[in-house]
Structure 1
Amino acid sequence: MIKSELVQKLAEQNPHLYQRDIEKVVNAILDTIADALAQGGRAEIRGFGSFAVKKRGARTGRNPRTGEAVAVSEKAVPVFKAGKEMRQRLNIPPRQTSKKVEPAATNINGFVDA
């Protein structure tokens, strides 16, 4: 789902609100999360998950075209950790299906094999 699809879905669920107002709210939420991460903090939405910043140290990488070593500088990357409720929604156990009961195999003498 992209941001415009999210705005459209929220507009459908809330016909009493203007789409431009919903778009402002979505942008405000995303900007607030981005600002918190830019300041080195974290943002948590209960039941959904938390966003944080992780530091990746400097390392030596390889140029895939030439194979020569390239210095890669330290960088900060955003990470997302799903909340407990989100993990439960994603990992719904499969429905129990009735298993077919196969008849027991009989041997050459007509007895049931165990």
Structure 2
Amino acid sequence: MTKADIINEIVDRTGIARCDAAAAVEAFMEVVKDNMVKNNENVYLRGFGSFIVKKRAEKTGRNISKNTTIIIPEHNIPAFKPAKSFLQMMKGEEVTAQD
């Protein structure tokens, strides 16, 4: 599913204008990216999952073309952790009310 497909699905389900749906999707993605990149904060969406910032430790790597050792510095990467109820739905299990 692409971003255009998501926008079309929102338009079909809600009946709002396509340009408004596109603006909402773009704004959502910008808010998530800004919080993760600029503020180094996780974004939690109850019942869906969490967009989290993971810290990768410094490590030693190899440049195989030059046969040299390089140091890969510590850095952050984005990750997604699905909610428990979302995982249960994916597995075909019944979702309980407390999740």
1:81 aligns with 81
Q: Give me the TM-score of the superposition, normalised by structure 2.
A: 0.82
Q: Give me the TM-score of the superposition, normalised by structure 1.
A: 0.73
Q: Distance in 2 between matches of 1:8 and 1:70?
A: 46
Q: Which string of whole-angstrom CA distances, capped at 9 and with x for unpartnered residues, describes residues 22-64 of structure 1?
A: 0000111111111111211111111100111111111111124
Identity %: 28
Greater fraction strand:
2
Structure with greater Cα Rg: 1
Aligned residues: 92
- SS of 1:40's partner is coil
Q: Distance in 2 between matches of 1:30 and 1:58?
A: 29
Q: Distance in 2 between matches of 1:90 and 1:9?
A: 20
More contact order relative to length (CA 8 Å, sep ≥ 6): 2
Where does the alignment leave 5 or more consecutive residues of structure 1 unmatched? 94-114
1:18 aligns with 17
Which AA in structure 2 matches 1:32? V
1:29 aligns with 28
Q: Distance in 2 between matches of 1:74 and 1:23?
A: 36
Which AA in structure 2 matches 1:59? K
Greater fraction helix:
2
Which AA in structure 1 matches 2:30? D
Which stretches of structure 1, 4 residues or longer, exceed 3 Å deviation after superposition? 64-67
Deviation at 1:66, TM superposition (A): 4.1
Q: Distance in 2 between matches of 1:4 and 1:62?
A: 40
Q: Distance in 2 between matches of 1:67 and 1:90?
A: 44
Deviation at 1:67, TM superposition (A): 3.9
